[in-house]
């Protein structure tokens, strides 16, 4: 549920881990931060308003729109102060837009707020948290503005700037009569699917003609009969600003779900629209448009994030970059300066020099470094130089840290400081100081990426990165190239801003300055510990982190005077992965884990009013479940950690006198009788000790009638003990008649040590008196004495905990106490040979293979700084495994092999390997970075009278290297064709290698010599999906990484009789001619179909007819769907569509219902000898009958499985259930 929906900048998030977790500095605190180096203001995301922010920034950077809005004074729009007066007609939306634009121009803040604007829309907090489509918003906002400006001089603002017209014409081929219809538009909607770019889409829409002929004739009003005709469309009137909406979202009729079209779609920076317009005598320059805004969508069709690339037409911002090292005219001095700029010593000195008395706190130093460089210390320098404080300590000759490490100053002046000042100015500001030539705006286009609050300069070439992918262009905005800006508007944010807004912004800037000064001296912040629901799981009655405490808990500094609503909004802005509802609840740590007590309500209340204290634990979740488990909250169901004691049973079912103690967690509102289930005893007697002492008076028997009472009602709390005895027990050794405890029921104050040194001794085990504060070393020495072992063991032995299965765990450090080592009183330790690891060493378990039985692992002690390569070598030597073709994987908590330890030179410490972890030795070397390990298969389909089975059946292993086709799991089984796939072996190959290189190397595999593999030009390559051929790899010279094969690709090679050159528009199909009167097909034959003229039914039918030398009207063709054992005839279905709905691009076999692709089977019927309507075979009928006999639920699941495995482009991820989509609306008053 938690997707990448709202993406805010993380410039304030620190990576250093002090305290409980990651440190977050809240950017939403008042007063807002000043503008950054770009001198442009972003817009804060209210939770889901990134789509609104991107459109508002586009309108703001449309100077003609902004100034037209500014030209409307209060006499026409009214005053915001009068909006609550009953008789006042205040046009709130235009006024709030004016105010927002003025803030973006003049107010010294990093990001403006749209709260007042969205309030004027009539939106609730729910609407502000919900994401909508920016194309829909564009139309709704323009409509709301038009309604708001009725009766003012700006009533035609939208029409004047954005309105255009399209003319649709139908020309009769007989009488040449022209039927014409005109349409208005505010934006052009263009197709993306099967189109290479914007100009291609416009060509299809406004140049190509649609022909009405054959079964789809046109009724001419002049001729008064059905005639052949041609339909076309042209742009008649172009607006000053052209908005283009890209149709990136489509619907898959097979999967019944929406999807996003991420294919490449190009668009020019400058476009000539004359070819798409009606012929006129206008100057050619009237048709030239320049791109100035690109709204980008990142994500899928059910959620994502918007940001915008904008061209700064008026040069209002500082468009500056570091000088590129690759410039050819750079001299040696410039390169030296750039190296100094990258030197952390020089950077830190420059920052401290700008402070008064050259003194600054370390936290502020990190923040100013982030603001100056645009990247934090942790991201840029931590890997090579360590934490910031440690770096300052190591360079004590330059920096002086205070005794508590909170502040730093320069110890002495260094000559490099003066050099840096010039370097810093040259590298960071030189480009901004050069005033661009006003006459050459195209050569010096200032583009910025505005991502909600974050504004960054970009190069014009960066726009090309948004042509394709999950993050790609969604809306394009062009302006006429003839629209020139006056010189006085350039670099002048006050140009044409109304006087009353100028005064308001000047006063606001003064107020901000005062507030910032007050805020520096105020101390109203406190720490909140945010526990993130997606990082937790419900286990053993309480919440526990999935990974580590540091990743699951984030510390947030927040102003206690602000409201709960502000806190919620701030958390939304800081968590880019959050999607859906957000509930904040107070949580507390209990012995069993983390428990949620109360949900925080009242967004208008301050944090003090809702009784949130400093250091409070806040659980952030959806209010319902964590990790798919429903969570009960409140003090009533608080988890209690209780000690359950019961008598140990022997193998013969008899009871022993020794007590077994085990901790269990129960909800406080659970019945006492649930203890029997936990102790695996059907029934019995329960005695409780809620006082915590071991005196006999503290133990009481729970009567039978009280078994229904809760633990809370019985007065039990964390740490209470419960004794469970079988009913009618005759063993009175534990509870004699006197009621006194005889068998160790006093408080446990001992540790049991077993002799596992393989040395003879009188005793097998001893009990050592201890407390939780006893040092492990003392216990070990006492055990050696009481076991009467050699004194030499004191230097070469260690204590290891023994788990309930008898497995020896990681040795306990000698210097720690039992409490520090997390050893429970009364537990067992094994005295073993060998020293315990030091603080810099790791104790690791390791084993060979993946099928590991607990207790069979080997052990090793290594330094935590040891590399993966050296660790692997040690483990191979200890396990006596031959060769070096092995790699290491870490065993996960499910006792399964996890991700491999990549990077032979990486240390175990860097890979977060801890003592007690289990590493697995897996055969096979990992490919080097940039290389792929590719299994190669040999594929040679053999013809038969049935269907071409090798294309749609997976393979199972048989004797030798052969593979025999078998039934898909979950699909009806049937006898398949001959051997289709043979495994050749694995190969390591670079991702930069071409496909022809892979084919050449495959020929050198050992097992391929028996198959007489031909030259690379006579090999066809397919991906292997579900152990059968999948996607066709068609270009020999294309690099492997451009195919996006994934991490573990498999390739099969098919031999050819002659060399083939498949073009990008060619489709490879397997055609089979139907044998008359036999309900069977001839062997499959390859057919190459050129789709450059379209994926139309007529084109395919003509190609098949030519291939078999038959008249096109005397054949019928059908596509075979193996998962349904069904044939779908491919007929002239497109000609049945009505004239009104018919579009040229709808006639495509790529879409529903055929979804034609490479490798599909096409059945061909010769109507000259076979005029039946049936395409199926006898086997199809038999398999369909088997399907009908299957239970419906099982059959449905099998069909889904088959459809997923047969779809080449299937992602394999099930779609999550989604709530209904809400419509977007803006409420406007009546001004008519």
Residues belonging to the active site: 50, 305
- Interaxial angle between packed helices 344-353 and 415-433, expressed in degrees from 0 to 180 and rounded to the nearest 10: 90
- Interaxial angle between packed helices 134-148 and 92-106, expressed in degrees from 0 to 180 and rounded to the nearest 10: 120
Strands lying side by side in the sheet with 841-848: 858-863, 841-848, 918-923, 886-891, 897-900
Contact in structure between 854 and 893 (CB atoms under 8 Å): no
Dihedral sign computed on CA atoms, order 1223, 1226, 1230, 1232: negative
**DSSP secondary structure, 1107-1151, as one string:** HTT--GGGEEEEEEETTTTEEEEE-SGGGGS-TTT--GGG--TTS
Rounded Cα–Cα distance for residues 781 and 476 (Å): 78
Rounded Cα–Cα distance for residues 910 and 868 (Å): 10
Rounded Cα–Cα distance for residues 788 and 766 (Å): 11
Rounded Cα–Cα distance for residues 28 and 30 (Å): 6
Looking at residue 659, the DSSP 8-state letter turns out to be: E
**DSSP secondary structure, 666-694, as one string:** EETTSBGGGHHHHTT-SS-EEEEE-SSS-
CA dihedral 546, 551, 553, 557 (to 10 degrees): -170
Give the pair of three-digit tokens for residue 485: 């800006």
Rounded Cα–Cα distance for residues 210 and 232 (Å): 6
The beta-carbon contacts of 789-795 under 8 Å, at least 24 apart in sequence, are: 789/755, 789/757, 789/759, 789/761, 789/831, 790/759, 793/757, 793/759, 793/831, 793/833
Rounded Cα–Cα distance for residues 1229 and 83 (Å): 11
Give the pair of three-digit tokens for residue 1068: 């490879």
The half-sphere exposure of 527 on its side-chain side, counting CA atoms within 13 A, is: 11
Rounded Cα–Cα distance for residues 144 and 158 (Å): 10
Give the pair of three-digit tokens for residue 461: 């070439």
Rounded Cα–Cα distance for residues 879 and 886 (Å): 12
Listed residue (958, 105, 952, 1003) closest to 508, CA to CA: 105
Rounded Cα–Cα distance for residues 1128 and 1154 (Å): 8
Listed residue (1084, 953, 940) closest to 1010, CA to CA: 940
Contact in structure between 1203 and 1209 (CB atoms under 8 Å): no
Give the pair of three-digit tokens for residue 173: 């081929």
H helices, E strands: number in the chain: 26, 59
| Percent helix / strand / coil, the chain, rounded to 5 | 25, 30, 45
Rounded Cα–Cα distance for residues 99 and 497 (Å): 10
Rounded Cα–Cα distance for residues 1024 and 1051 (Å): 5
Rounded Cα–Cα distance for residues 1208 and 1203 (Å): 10
In the chain the first and final C-alpha atoms are separated, in Å, by 46
C-alpha 479 chain-centroid distance: 35
């Amino acid at each position: 549920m938690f997707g990448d929906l709202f993406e805010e900048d993380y410039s304030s998030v620190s990576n250093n881990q002090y305290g409980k977790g990651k440190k977050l500095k809240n950017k939403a605190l008042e007063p807002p931060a000043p503008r950054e180096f770009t001198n442009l203001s972003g817009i804060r995301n209210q939770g889901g308003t990134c789509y609104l922010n991107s459109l508002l920034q586009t309108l703001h950077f449309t100077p003609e729109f902004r100034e037209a809005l500014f030209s409307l004074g209060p006499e026409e729009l009214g005053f915001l102060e009068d909006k609550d007066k009953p008789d006042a007609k205040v046009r709130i939306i235009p006024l709030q837009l004016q105010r927002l634009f003025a803030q973006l121009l003049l107010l010294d803040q990093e990001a403006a707020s749209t709260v007042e604007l969205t309030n004027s829309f009539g939106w609730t907090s729910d609407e502000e948290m919900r994401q909508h489509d920016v194309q829909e918003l564009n139309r709704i906002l323009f409509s709301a503005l038009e309604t708001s400006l009725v009766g003012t001089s700006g009533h035609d603002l939208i029409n004047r700037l954005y309105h255009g017209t399209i003319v649709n014409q139908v020309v009769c081929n007989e009488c040449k009569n022209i039927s014409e219809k005109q349409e208005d538009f505010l934006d052009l909607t263009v197709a993306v699917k099967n189109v290479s770019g914007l100009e291609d889409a416009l060509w299809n829409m406004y140049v190509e003609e649609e022909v009405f002929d054959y079964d789809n004739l046109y009724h001419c009003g002049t001729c008064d009969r059905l005639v052949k005709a041609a339909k076309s469309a042209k742009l008649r009137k172009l607006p000053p600003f052209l908005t283009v909406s890209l149709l990136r979202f489509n619907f898959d009729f097979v999967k019944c779900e929406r999807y996003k079209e991420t294919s490449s779609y190009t668009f020019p920076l400058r476009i000539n629209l004359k070819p798409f317009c009606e012929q006129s005598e206008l100057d050619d320059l009237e048709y030239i448009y320049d791109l100035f805004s690109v709204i980008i969508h990142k994500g899928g069709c059910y959620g994502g994030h918007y940001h915008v690339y904008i061209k700064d037409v008026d040069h209002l911002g500082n468009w500056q970059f570091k000088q590129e090292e690759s410039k050819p005219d750079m001299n040696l001095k410039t390169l030296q300066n750039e190296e100094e700029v990258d030197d952390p010593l020089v950077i830190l000195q420059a920052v401290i020099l700008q402070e008064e008395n050259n003194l600054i706190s370390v936290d502020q130093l990190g923040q100013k470094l982030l603001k100056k460089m645009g990247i934090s210390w942790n991201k840029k320098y931590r890997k090579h130089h360590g934490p910031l404080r440690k770096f300052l300590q190591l360079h004590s000759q330059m920096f002086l840290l205070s005794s508590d490490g909170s502040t730093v100053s320069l110890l002495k002046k260094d000559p490099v400081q003066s050099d840096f000042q010039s370097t810093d100015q040259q590298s960071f500001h030189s480009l901004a100081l050069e005033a661009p030539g006003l006459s050459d705006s195209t050569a010096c286009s200032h583009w910025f990426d505005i991502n909600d609050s974050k504004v960054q300069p970009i190069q014009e070439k960066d726009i090309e990165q948004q042509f394709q992918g999950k993050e790609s262009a969604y809306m394009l905005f062009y302006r006429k190239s003839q629209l020139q800006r006056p010189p006085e508007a350039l670099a002048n944010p006050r140009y044409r801003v109304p006087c009353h807004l100028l005064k308001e912004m000047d006063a606001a800037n003064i107020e901000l300055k005062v507030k910032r000064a007050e805020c520096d001296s105020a101390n109203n912040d406190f720490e909140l510990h945010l526990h993130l629901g997606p990082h937790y799981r419900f286990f053993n009655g309480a919440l526990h982190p999935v990974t580590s405490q540091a990743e699951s808990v984030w510390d947030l500094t927040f102003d206690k005077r602000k409201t709960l609503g502000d806190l919620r909004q701030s958390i939304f802005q800081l968590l880019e992965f959050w999607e859906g509802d957000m509930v904040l609840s107070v949580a507390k740590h209990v012995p069993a884990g983390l428990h949620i007590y109360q949900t925080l309500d009242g967004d208008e209340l301050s944090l003090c009013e809702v009784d949130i204290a400093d250091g409070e634990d806040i659980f952030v979740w959806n209010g319902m479940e964590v990790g798919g488990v429903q969570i009960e909250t409140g003090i009533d169901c608080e988890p209690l950690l209780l000690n359950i004691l019961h008598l140990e049973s022997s193998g013969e079912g008899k009871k022993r006198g020794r007590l077994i103690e085990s901790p269990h967690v129960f909800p406080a509102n659970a019945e006492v009788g649930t203890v029997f289930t936990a102790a695996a005893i059907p029934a019995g007697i329960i005695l409780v000790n809620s006082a915590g002492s071991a005196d006999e008076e503290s133990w009481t028997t729970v009567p039978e009638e009280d078994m229904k009472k809760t633990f809370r009602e019985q007065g039990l709390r964390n740490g209470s003990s419960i004794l469970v005895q079988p009913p009618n027990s005759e063993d009175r050794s534990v509870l004699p008649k006197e009621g006194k405890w005889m068998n160790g029921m006093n408080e446990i104050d001992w540790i049991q040590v077993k002799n596992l040194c393989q040395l003879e001794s009188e005793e097998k085990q001893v009990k050592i008196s201890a407390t939780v504060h006893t040092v492990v070393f003392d216990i070990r020495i006492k055990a050696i004495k009481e076991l009467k072992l050699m004194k030499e063991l004191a230097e070469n032995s260690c204590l290891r905990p023994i788990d309930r299965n008898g497995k020896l765990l990681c040795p306990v450090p000698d210097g720690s106490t039992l409490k520090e080592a997390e050893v429970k009183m009364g537990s067992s330790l094994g005295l073993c040979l060998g020293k315990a690891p030091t603080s810099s060493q790791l104790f690791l378990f390791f084993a060979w293979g993946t099928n590991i039985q607990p207790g069979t692992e080997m052990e090793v002690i290594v330094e935590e700084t040891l590399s993966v390569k050296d660790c692997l070598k040690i483990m191979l030597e200890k396990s006596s495994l031959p060769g070096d073709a092995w790699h290491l994987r870490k065993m996960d908590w499910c006792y399964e092999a996890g991700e491999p330890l990549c990077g032979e030179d990486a240390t175990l410490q860097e890979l977060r390997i801890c003592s007690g972890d289990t590493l697995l030795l897996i055969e096979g070397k990992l490919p080097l970075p940039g290389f792929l390990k590719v299994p190669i298969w040999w594929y040679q389909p053999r013809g038969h009278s049935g269907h071409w089975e090798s294309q749609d059946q997976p393979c199972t292993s048989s004797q030798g290297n052969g593979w025999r086709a078998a039934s898909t799991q979950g699909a009806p089984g049937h006898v398949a064709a001959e051997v289709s796939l043979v495994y050749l072996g694995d190969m390591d190959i670079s991702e930069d290698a071409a496909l022809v290189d892979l084919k050449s190397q495959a020929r050198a595999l050992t097992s391929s010599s028996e198959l007489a593999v031909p030259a690379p030009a006579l090999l066809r390559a397919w991906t292997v999906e579900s152990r059968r051929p999948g996607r066709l790899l068609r270009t020999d010279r294309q690099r492997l990484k451009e195919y996006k094969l994934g991490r573990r690709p498999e390739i099969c090679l098919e031999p050819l009789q002659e060399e083939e050159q498949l073009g990008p528009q060619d489709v490879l199909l397997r055609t089979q001619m139907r044998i008359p009167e036999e309900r069977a097909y001839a062997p499959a034959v390859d057919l190459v179909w050129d789709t450059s003229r379209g994926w139309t039914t007529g084109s395919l039918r003509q190609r098949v007819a030519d291939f078999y030398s038959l008249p096109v009207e005397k054949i019928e063709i059908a596509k075979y769907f193996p998962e349904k054992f069904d044939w779908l005839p491919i007929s002239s279905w497109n000609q049945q569509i009505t004239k009104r709905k018919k579009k040229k691009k709808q006639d495509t076999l790529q879409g529903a219902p055929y979804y034609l692709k490479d490798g599909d089977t096409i059945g061909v019927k010769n109507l000259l000898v076979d005029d039946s309507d049936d395409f199926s075979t006898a086997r199809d009928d038999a398999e369909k009958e088997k399907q009908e006999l299957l239970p419906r639920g099982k059959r449905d699941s099998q069909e889904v499985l088959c459809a997923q495995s047969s779809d080449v482009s299937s992602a394999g991820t099930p779609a999550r259930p989604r709530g209904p989509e809400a419509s977007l609306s803006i409420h406007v008053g009546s001004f008519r």
